[in-house]
Amino acid sequence: MTTGMNLWDANVWSFVITMTLLFVAMIVANTLRNTIPALRRLMIPSSVLGGFILLIVNTFCKNVLDIQLYQTSMLEILTYHGLGLGFSAMALRTVDKKQDNRSKTGAFDSGVTVVSTYLLQAVLGLIVTVILFYAINSFFASGILLPMGYGQGPGQAYTWGHTYEASWGFANGTSFGLAVSSMGFVCASIGGVVYLTSMRRKGRFTGEMGKDANDADMTIDEYAGKNEIPLSESMDKFTIQVALVFFAYILAFLFMKGVNVIVDTGVLGGLGKTVQSMIWGFQFLFGTLFAILVRTVLNKLRKKNVVKRDYVNNFMMNRISGFMFDIMVIASIAAIDLNAFLVPSFIVPLTIICVLGAVGSYIYLRVICRRVFPMYEDAAFLSLYGMLTGTASTGAILLREVDPKFETQASDNLVYHQPWAILFGFPMFLLLGVAPQSVGKCLLTLGICVALLAVMNVILFRKAIFKKKK
């Protein structure tokens, strides 16, 4: 019985070709970054630079040579799943608690700072796009994609941009979200260079910008634990790590599919559409939760001696998450439709909110870090600004410039802030499904974000407020 498929057909090789293009673009970008000092000093990650290279090359091939190198839909899928799989891998790691208690208040304050910056970006973005809705008829709720692109990164920017386009009629919404996240990486690099240059003038920074990390000091314990499974047996150790990541992620899929079944019954009424969009938009969060569940079950079985060895390797999980995030970033940039930039209702709000978001975040975080993290102000600013305009990896890149061995509390905060950020940020995330429904509900969302921002600032500056009252 024949399937009618030839081994030389394009659909047999399309995935491999697309992945090869992504890898080649990243290698070219990394080579350029290592050979051009000025480019290295900009501290733009190779995945970001590779994304722009691939986007330009594909645009040239499509418009001049009439050849399309890849299907945008495949890159969008890679962006979506790269986020969920990356977070699942991160959540499976075993994180040792600090013995010096450095993270007691720093992690909490960092989590609140992250959420308050999300809210600031949402407020600035919505103010701009609501005004532009009346001026040039742009999509009124597109401004709330600013914290998704800047604060959350390409995965969430794609997810909600696509949701707004598919469910609420936001023309070119997918490209809008991806463009916001791409500009976030650029703003992270520019802001980092500006801040480090300012530090150099004040004599607080004497290093070389963009210098690569040195792994020579790493010990064997950082690569493998004492009671882990061997590197290679009947099933390779790395294969087991990948299997655990995908298992946790598929559990999240089954959970979301179950919610879909409930929504399809109509029991939720008009709320069902909003719930459905939110559920599938937060696939990374459910991936994280189920990965924590898998890790907890394995730890319990290990303590009861049902499982004899440790199956999760932190070093490999870090590599898997890094790989997924690199693929997510380069795919998200290469998937942008440059034709949308010719539309005024697209390019005008995009330009204004990206510039305003970068400047506003920079100034706001400067004030917070000076008041809330005075003992490690520079490290706190670089890590938070990098993370809140790019991704956690961007924050780590900027932090490494002033803290090469990640010895300050700022490095701890990058890890331990997440539970607090999820807790305080959840109300804002609920509003993502409300804002695009109508102009009135968008204004209601804006008002709630302003109120939440005020609450977050009271929490952040609580010591100064209570001191003044005393």
Three-state DSSP class for 228? strand
Who contacts 293 (Cβ-Cβ below 8 Å, separation ≥6)? 248, 251
- What's the DSSP call for residue 68? -
Q: How far apart are CA 379 and CA 236, in angstroms?
A: 39
Take residue 400 and report the two structure tokens written for it: 């490494």
Instruction: State the sign of the Cα–Cα–Cα–Cα dihedral 266, 271, 277, 278.
Output: negative
pTM attached to this predicted model: 0.83
**Chain centre distance of CA 226:** 32
Q: Picking from 9-18, 269-278, 322-331, which range would have the lowest pLDDT averaged per residue? A: 269-278
Question: Which of 110, 27, 124 is CA-nearest to residue 392?
Answer: 110
Q: How far apart are CA 18 and CA 273, in angstroms?
A: 33
- pLDDT digit string (tens) for 36-55? 888 888 878 888 999 999 99
Cα-Cα-Cα-Cα torsion 395, 398, 399, 400, nearest 10 degrees, comes to 120
Question: Which of 119, 133, 197 is CA-nearest to residue 388?
Answer: 119
Q: How far apart are CA 156 and CA 256, in angstroms?
A: 17
pLDDT of residue 393: 79
- pLDDT digit string (tens) for 113-152? 999 999 999 999 999 999 999 999 999 999 999 999 998 8
Q: How far apart are CA 316 and CA 333, in angstroms?
A: 26
Take residue 457 and report the two structure tokens written for it: 């600032």
Instruction: State the sign of the Cα–Cα–Cα–Cα dihedral 337, 339, 344, 348.
Output: positive
Q: How far apart are CA 108 and CA 390, in angstroms?
A: 21
Q: How far apart are CA 436 and CA 161, in angstroms?
A: 11
How many CA atoms lie less than 13 Å away from 82 in the CB half-sphere?
24
pLDDT of residue 1: 46
Take residue 4 and report the two structure tokens written for it: 């009618």
Q: What is the number of other CB atoms lying within 10 angstroms of the CB of residue 429? A: 20
- pLDDT digit string (tens) for 182-233? 999 999 989 988 998 888 888 887 776 666 656 555 555 556 666 676 666 6
